[in-house]
Amino acid sequence: RLAYVGQLVEERKRISELTHALCRAAREVPGTEALIYGDGPDRRVVEQILREEGDGLPVHLVGFVQNSEIPKHLLRCHAVVLLSDHEGLGLALLEGMACGVVPIALRGAPGVTEFVLDDVTGLLTSDRGDDFVATVRRLRDDPALWERLARSARAHVETEYSEETCAARWQELVEELVNSSGPRKPLQIPRRLHLPPIHPALAVMDERIPFFASPPFH
């Protein structure tokens, strides 16, 4: 059983491609089902895909679930899927790993591959198509692999992301900053900022408004 937990939004999450991927995995890998948890502006897109492509398949849109209820739902699943282009921190994957659920993520996605180590704490896929289906099939056909990854994922979260570990790291950082602080200098703010050009691959996500197009100050 696969699970997606997060916003139903196209930008960054690529929710339509993820829904297609879950439908294809359920269709091509026997015994696979998928649950989609969450809500968002592109919910209708997900519903349409499930009507057109997922009709008769064990792929279901559960919808919004309270944060406190998420672990209970994840404990019923075998893998948690997040195929975002990038994440600040893939919290849904970490929550799944804490429950002993194997994470499946997109190879090279920043904010995810820092803790999803391929074939160690989870599985990385090269795409949302053929390789994703092959990854699901591999996990489905090899119970020993699933058990090893599930144990490793949980152990990794306990070791690296527990409250005690995070608190200790924050304390170390604060102490380092206090001990290394030199004489204070006034902050110099330039009148004009010179930013690097927009990367072509990220241009579609740039929401900055040119200065000349900004509304006047009142």
The whole-number pLDDT of residue 217 equals 46
Of 72, 118, 113, 131, nearest in space to 96 by CA: 72
d(CA 15, CA 106): 13
| 62: confidence class by pLDDT, cuts 50, 70, 90 | very high
pLDDT score of 211 more than 80: no
Of 79, 41, 75, 38, nearest in space to 60 by CA: 38
Phi, psi for 36 (deg, rounded to 5): -110, 115
Instruction: Output the pTM of the full model.
Output: 0.75
pLDDT score of 79 more than 80: yes
pLDDT digits (tens, 9 = 90+) for 108-133: 888 888 889 999 999 999 999 999 99
Of 70, 6, 12, 16, nearest in space to 42 by CA: 16
* Residue 139 CA from chain centroid, whole number: 19
The whole-number pLDDT of residue 182 equals 67
H-helix or E-strand spanning residue 50: helix 43-52
Of 52, 73, 100, nearest in space to 4 by CA: 73
pLDDT digits (tens, 9 = 90+) for 156-203: 998 888 788 888 888 888 888 878 766 667 778 888 878 788 777 777
In percent, the amount of the chain with pLDDT more than 70 equals 92
Domains and CATH numbers, the chain: 2-164 (3.40.50.2000)
The whole-number pLDDT of residue 188 equals 80
Of 31, 128, 145, nearest in space to 81 by CA: 128
